[in-house]
Amino acid sequence: MNRRLAAIIAADVVDYSRLMGEDQTRTLDALREFRRKLFEPAVVTHRGNVIKRMGDGWIVEFASVSDAVNCSLDIQDGLKDHDIIRLRIGIHIGEVVFEEEDVFGDGVNIAARLETLAEPGAVLISDTAYNSLDGKAARQFNGGTPHKLKNIFRPVQVWRWPPESSSGMTPSGISPTQTPQEPPSIAVLPFVNKSSDPEQDYFADGVTEDIITALSRLRGFFVISQNTMITYKGKDLDPRTIGQELGVRYILRGNIRATGNRVRITAELSDPATGAQLWAERFDRPLDDVFAVQDEITESVVGRIEPELYAAELAKLKQTPPQNLGSWEFFIRGLHLYSQHTDQGTREALEMLDRAIALDDAYAKALGLKALTLVWRLIQGWEDPATAMEKATESVNLAIQADAQEPWAHMAQGVISICLRQSDDAIAALQQAINASPNFAYAQGMFGASLALAGRAEDALPCIDRAMRLSPRDIFSEEYHLYYAFAYFVLGKYKEAAASAERAILLRPGHPSIYVIATASYQLDGATDKAGMRAEKLIELVPDTSLTEIEASYPFTRAEDMTKLINALRAAGLPE
C-alpha cells in the first residue's frame, strides 16, 4: 500500500451512454481522437499521471494544484467547440492511497463528487485546492458556496470555472433556476403577539417553539433551531434579509391576536429570495384550553406546510436541466410524477427515483417511494405482479436498512402488506410511519385505508378525516376520497361510496382503482347505467383488465368484501 499527497483531477464524458446508444462508432472515434490529440498531450505537458481509466472517465494525479488546474482549463478550452465530446471535471488535493491496481482516498473521493456536480464544460475545485492557488490563478474561479457531498463528513466550499457562462450560472455556481443539492431549509420567525395582553407573549412563544419542534420531525427538511430564532424576537426585519443571514429557502412567520375567549392565528410561508408568498392561512379557535389550542394550531400549520414545501420545491425545479439535479431534486420530481397516478406518470416517476438512488444508494426516502410506486402500479394492473413485488420488497428492505425511522419506508412496507392482504402487518407498518412523522397526512390517510380494507371501516373514517384536516389541498387528495369509498363500501353505504369515488375521479381521472370501486358501488346502489359507464372507462385505462386480475390484486382482505366486489363488477359487465 502506497500513500501520498496529490492534486487529483476526476474527469468524465457527459452523456456517454446516450452517445454510445445513438452512434457507437462515431462516439468511439471521437473519444479516441480526443484522447490522442488533446487529453493525453495536456496531461503530459502539465506533468500529470493518469492513474485510473474508466472508459468514459479518468483519474489523473499532479504534483501541484496549479498543474492540475492549468491542465483542466486547457482541456476544457480545447473542447469548447467540439461537436460530440464534453467533459465535467472536479479537482481536489488530498491523500491518495494506491493498493494493487486500485486507487482511493479523500483526494479521489472529493474530486469525483465535485465532478458529478459540475456543469458540462465546467471545472469545479474544492476549497483546499482553491486555497493552494496563487492570486492570479484563484481569480479565474468564482463561488465558495458550501456543499454537503455524499459520504464526506465536512461541508466543502466549491469554486467554479468559468465564473460565468451562457447557461446563466451565477458566480455562486448555482443557476437562478437551480436549487442547491442540500434538502430545503426553513426558518420559523417568532410569532408576534398582536393582543393588548402581554401575557399572550407566552402563548405566541409556545406556538413558535411547538411548530419548530414539529417541523424538525419532517425528514428531509432542515429547520433552524429555536435558540437561533428567538434572537429575532421583537425585530422588524425584511424576510429577505433574514433569508440571506440564515441561508434558508423558506420562512414561516405569523401573528396571534387574542380577544376575549377566542384566538386568531395567521401564518404565512414565503420565499425570501423572491419575497413571494407561497401559502397563508388563518385559524380561529376558542381559548377554552390554551394547551389544546396550541397543539391543534401546531398540527394544522405543520400538516399544511409539508405539501406546500413539496409544491414549492417542484416549482423551483421545473426549469432545471436534469443533469444539474441532485438526489433530493430527483425525489421531488418523482413524487410529483407518482402523484399523477397515471401509467406514464408512474413509469417516469420510477426513472426519476432510480436517478436519485444512483446518486445516493442509501437514500431511504427515494427507496421507499420507489417501492410504493411499484406496488401501486401492480395494483392498477400495469406491472407483472411477481416482478413488481420482488423489486418493491428489495427496495423497501434497503430503505429500512438505510434509515429505520424514514416514514416513506414504513409506508411502503405497509402498502406492500396491503397488497399481500396481510392486514395486521400493514396496520403495524403504517403506525410506524405515523410514529416517525405524526403530521404526515399521506401516512394518516393510508392508515385509514388499511383499516377499511381489513373490514374496520368505522375505525378508518376518523383516520381519513385526520388526513384531510392535516392537508386539505394535498397532492394525494384523490386517494383520500378513494379511501372513503373503501370504507363506505365495506359499511354497505354504496351511494356514499360512489359519491366519494366520483370526487376522486374529478381530481385524478386516470387512476384505474377508483373506477373499480365506483363501478361496484353504482351497481350495488342500483345505478346500473352509471356502473356500465365506469366499467367502460376502466377497460379503456387497462384494456386487459379482468375479474380474475382484479380478484388477484385488489386489496380487500375479507372474503365477503371481495366476493361482493367481484359479483357487482360481473353484473356491470366486466370480463371474466
If pLDDT is split at 50, 70 and 90, which confidence band does 169 have?
very low
| Cβ proximity of 42 and 34 under 8 Å | no
Element (H, E) at 414: helix 407-419
The dotted CATH code for 2-161 is: 3.30.70.1230
Q: What is the pLDDT of residue 119?
A: 86
| Per-residue pLDDT at 92 | 92
The predicted structure's pLDDT at residue 450: 94
Residues 521 and 571 sit within 8 Å (Cβ to Cβ): no
Contact 366, 356 (CB under 8 A): yes
Backbone angles phi, psi at 510, to 5 degrees: -100, 15
Task: Return the pLDDT at 37.
Answer: 93
HEC string of 32-93 equals: HHHHHHHHHHHHHHCCCEEEEECCCEEEEEECCHHHHHHHHHHHHHHHCCCCCCCEEEEEEE
Could you give the C-alpha distances from 133 to 142, 202, 211, in angstroms and in order?
13, 53, 46
Please report the pLDDT score of residue 373 as a whole number. Answer: 94
Residue 173: its pLDDT value, please? 37
Percent share of the chain, pLDDT over 90: 36
Question: 185-316 maps to which CATH number?
Answer: 3.40.50.10610
Between 547 and 247, residue with greater pLDDT: 547
Where is 276: in which H helix or E strand? Answer: strand 276-286
pLDDT digits (tens, 9 = 90+) for 138-155: 888 887 777 777 766 667
Least confident of 240-254, 321-335, 357-371: 321-335
- pLDDT interval class at 258 (50, 70, 90): confident
Weakest mean pLDDT among 160-169, 307-316, 438-447: 160-169
Q: Tell me: pLDDT of 305 over 70.
A: no
- Asked if pLDDT for residue 469 goes beyond 80, the answer is no
pLDDT above 70: residue 177: no
- Separation between Cα atoms, residue 457 and residue 450, nearest integer Å: 9
| Rounded distance between C-alpha atoms, residue 182 and residue 179, angstroms | 8
Residue 517 has pLDDT above 50, yes or no: yes
pLDDT at 175 over 50: no
For the chain, domain boundaries: 2-161, 185-316, 324-438
Confidence check: pLDDT of 282 > 90:
no
* 192-206 pLDDT, tens digit each: 888 877 777 777 877
For residues 547-554, give the mean pLDDT. 90
Using only C-alpha atoms, what is the Rg of the chain? Answer: 28
On the question of pLDDT at 497 being above 90, the answer is yes
Q: What is the band of 165 on the pLDDT scale with cuts at 50, 70, 90?
A: very low
Query: For residues 5 and 417, which has the higher predicted lDDT (pLDDT)?
Result: 417
Higher pLDDT, 315 or 116: 116
**Residue 428's pLDDT band (cuts 50, 70, 90):** very high
Using pLDDT thresholds of 50, 70 and 90, give the confidence band for residue 178.
very low
**Would you state the pLDDT for residue 471?**
67
Look at residue 96 in the predicted model and tell me its pLDDT: 83
Spell 309-321 as b/e; 16+ CB within 10 A means b. Answer: bbbbbbebbeebe
User: What per-residue confidence (pLDDT) applies to 186?
Assistant: 81
Q: How large is the average pLDDT for residues 493-518?
A: 91
Task: Please tell me the predicted confidence (pLDDT) of residue 481.
Answer: 93
Overall average pLDDT of the 275-288 stretch: 78
Around Cβ 39, how many Cβ atoms within 10 Å? 23
pLDDT of residue 309: 63
Which grid coordinates are listed for 229?
Answer: 430564532
C-alpha grid cell for residue 86? 464534453
Q: How confident is the model at residue 336 (pLDDT cuts 50, 70, 90)?
A: confident
Do the beta carbons of residue 337 and residue 310 sit within 8 Å?
Answer: no
For residue 387, pLDDT over 90 is answered with yes
Q: What is the mean pLDDT of the chain?
A: 83
Reduce the DSSP state of residue 4 to 3 states and report it: strand
Strands 262-271, 142-147: pairing kind? unpaired
Name the CATH superfamily for 324-438.
Answer: Tetratricopeptide repeat domain (1.25.40.10)
| Residues 6+ away with beta carbon under 8 Å from 54 | none
pLDDT number for residue 493: 95
